[in-house]
Structure 1
Amino acid sequence: MHRRLIGMKNNERTTSDPAAGLGELAALIERHAPTDGSHETAVPALRFIRATDTYGTVHSVYTPSLCIIAQGAKTASLADERYRYDPASYLVTSVHLPIAGRVVRASPEEPYLGLHLGFGTDDILDLAEEFDPASYGGTEVERGIGIDTLTPELLDAVVRLVRLLDSPQDVPVLAPLVIRETLYRVMQGKLRRMMLTFAAAGSHSHRIAGAIRLIRRDFDKPLRIERLAKEVHMSASALHKHFKKATAMSPLQYQKAIRLQEARRLLLAESLEAADAAFRVGYESPTQFSREYARMFGLPPISDVQSVRGALLASERR
């Protein structure tokens, strides 16, 4: 194993009992995330999420990341697919995906407690040498999201990473080592191929990751499939085929999801009129925007904003 894989020092206690490990992880998250919402930590790639109720669906773009639940349960929906995970499992995304997330098990007595650990292409490629290329070879595109079973070894690494927050002086040195070990444990499971194919230069998955990056960068501009395909060195038909395999949607559907999520953010954060938000994200027709917005979020723009703000006020009063 690579000499930089593991470094424990003051963080060297291990977690051999999964139930005890999950209990400790839940207690640590609850201490560092005392209120509902998302909480950044001293480890830049790590954040915690807490919820005391199943408030509804949250639409966001998941970055390449590992998501683990210490307490509660959640679903992540991509297009028409739904992925459910809980303390017995974990979710990984290897590319930016527009996800509808919903906490499905939480209460004030037992809040939902989860963590999100982001990673980059370099993190994955750095680990590629640890595995036999034959175990992840081939050019077939993988879906950019998957679920696997939480192992004691992975749980142990994650608990030790979170413990580091109690020793901030150790974070700069030890956190990168424990994160590397954590990703190594993930890649020992069935999601290794998915993670490596999106990172490996020259693969179809890597080209799709490039197409996604370009769509996200220019989401408010008209999408020209032929031009996009040329930029990622694919034919238009191959781009469409492999893009749908990776994301469960076409490039145009992906762009629409990104546009609508950004429009919703503008409506909530900047109090824009619906027509102004529509133009800001690239729609020429406010009517079409309102129709597609309602299809995605369940209500027309103004009604949806009022509903979201009402729900937030109600949760603050609890």
Structure 2
Amino acid sequence: MDREMQPNGLEPYLSELSGRLNQLLQTDGLHLTEIPSLHMMRATATSEPIHSMYAPSLCFIVQGAKSAALGQEIYHYNPTTYLVTSVHLPIKSEITQASPEVPFIGLHLEFTPDQILDILQHTELAWPEESEPGSGIFVGKTNSQLLDALLRLVKLFDQPAEIPILAPLITREILFRVLQGEQGHLVKQFAVIGSQAHAIAKAIQLIHRDYSKPLRVEELAKEVNMAASSFHKHFKQVTALSPLQYQKRIRLQEARHLMISEKMGAADAAFQVGYESPSQFSREYARLYGLPPKSDLKQASIQ
């Protein structure tokens, strides 16, 4: 997005962030940092869709633009907006604006429900009202307070000895600013023990833990103290997927990871993640990734 089109107040922060991160990130790809919850991405070209599991996190863009798809919904964000995933979600993302002259630069800051609960307990922010769970993903509007805190977090890389003390404090401030926003309740809801949203978050954790085992939705609903019908409805409200579709995404992503990183054969990877039929695995893999496993891996090795 052109600087002239940015809302008043954002330009100074984005300009300094761009300058610092362009110096810090000299190569394309994912960059881990001394702050365990923060990693960065740089790209000098737009990307093909990438399937990955997003942990609860805040995704900021300093330069360029990106889209994230969940179910039938596509979320677009850029330096004036940010993406929030409040629970683990299988996202199909795509860098939509990047060039060698102005690389895409993004920051990904993970958080936990306990961090959100701690903020609610120690501030005067309103607790979420009991209601049906809302979506586990949304796009919010960036403001100068958020960018100021984000800039101070990035500046800590100049003083690494200060990171253990100050990074948690600044991260807490960033989360506080997000909770203050119009859609802050969509983050708060998953931290409140006893809420329906918290029950869905617990169910998501259980699916992750046992994704290779057969999923019995009725038993999972009982595990989180919900009726099967309402559980199915609320799960889809949060994730845009049914529990079985969600488990399938985890299995397929993990199988692809095994085939690429560990050079595992398709049949072995299928069995490893819980498939009993390699042919079913191949069909569902092609439906998600657009190619059967062998062809997809061949193409991935060329890129």
TM tier, smaller: over 0.9
Match of 2:154 in 1: 162
Per-residue CA deviation, residues 203-237 of structure 1 (Å, 9 max, x unaligned), is 11100000000001111110011111111111111
Q: Does the CA contact (< 8 Å) of 1:29 and 1:48 recur in 2? A: no
Separation in structure 2 between the aligned mates of residue 33 and residue 121 of structure 1, nearest angstrom: 30
Normalization by structure 1: what TM-score?
Answer: 0.90
Separation in structure 2 between the aligned mates of residue 118 and residue 87 of structure 1, nearest angstrom: 18
Per-residue CA deviation, residues 142-195 of structure 1 (Å, 9 max, x unaligned), is 100000110011111101111111101111111111111111111111221011
Q: Percent identity?
A: 53
Separation in structure 1 between the aligned mates of residue 293 and residue 302 of structure 2, nearest angstrom: 14
1:139 aligned counterpart, secondary structure: coil
Match of 2:167 in 1: 175
Match of 1:58 in 2: 50
Q: CA deviation at 1:132?
A: 4.4
Separation in structure 1 between the aligned mates of residue 36 and residue 50 of structure 2, nearest angstrom: 23
Identify which of 58, 62, 82 aligns with 1:70: 62
Q: CA deviation at 1:43?
A: 1.1
Q: CA deviation at 1:125?
A: 0.8
Report the more deviating stretch, 21-30 or 139-148. Answer: 21-30
Match of 1:153 in 2: 145
**2:100 pairs with 1:117:** no
Match of 1:39 in 2: 31
Q: CA deviation at 1:88?
A: 0.7
Separation in structure 1 between the aligned mates of residue 58 and residue 181 of structure 2, nearest angstrom: 13
Q: CA deviation at 1:17?
A: 4.0
Counterpart amino acid of 1:164? Answer: L
Match of 2:212 in 1: 220
The CA RMSD measured in Å over matched residues stands at 1.2
Separation in structure 1 between the aligned mates of residue 210 and residue 262 of structure 2, nearest angstrom: 21
**2:272 pairs with 1:280:** yes
Q: Does the CA contact (< 8 Å) of 1:143 and 1:247 recur in 2? A: yes
Identify which of 253, 256, 267 aligns with 1:261: 253
Separation in structure 1 between the aligned mates of residue 244 and residue 124 of structure 2, nearest angstrom: 36
Counterpart amino acid of 1:88? Answer: T
Q: Does the CA contact (< 8 Å) of 1:29 and 1:114 recur in 2? A: no
1:199 aligned counterpart, secondary structure: coil
Match of 1:143 in 2: 135
Identify which of 182, 188, 191 aligns with 1:190: 182
Separation in structure 1 between the aligned mates of residue 144 and residue 178 of structure 2, nearest angstrom: 11
1:271 aligned counterpart, secondary structure: coil
Separation in structure 2 between the aligned mates of residue 180 and residue 36 of structure 1, nearest angstrom: 29
Counterpart amino acid of 2:193? Answer: A
Gapped regions of structure 2 (runs ≥ 5):
1-7
Q: CA deviation at 1:32?
A: 2.6
Match of 2:126 in 1: 133
Q: Does the CA contact (< 8 Å) of 2:62 and 2:106 recur in 1? A: yes
Per-residue CA deviation, residues 3-49 of structure 1 (Å, 9 max, x unaligned), is xxxxxxxxxxxxx9411211211222223322111111111111111
Normalization by structure 2: what TM-score?
Answer: 0.95
Per-residue CA deviation, residues 242-283 of structure 1 (Å, 9 max, x unaligned), is 100000010000000000000110111111221111111111
| Deviation >4 Å, runs of 4+ | none
Identify which of 223, 226, 237 aligns with 1:234: 226
Match of 1:13 in 2: none
Gapped regions of structure 1 (runs ≥ 5):
1-15, 312-318
Identify which of 191, 198, 201 aligns with 1:209: 201
Q: Does the CA contact (< 8 Å) of 2:133 and 2:234 recur in 1? A: yes
Separation in structure 2 between the aligned mates of residue 171 and residue 45 of structure 1, nearest angstrom: 12
Q: CA deviation at 1:121?
A: 1.1
Change (3 A) 1:109 1:249: same
Q: Does the CA contact (< 8 Å) of 1:98 and 1:254 recur in 2? A: yes
Match of 1:7 in 2: none
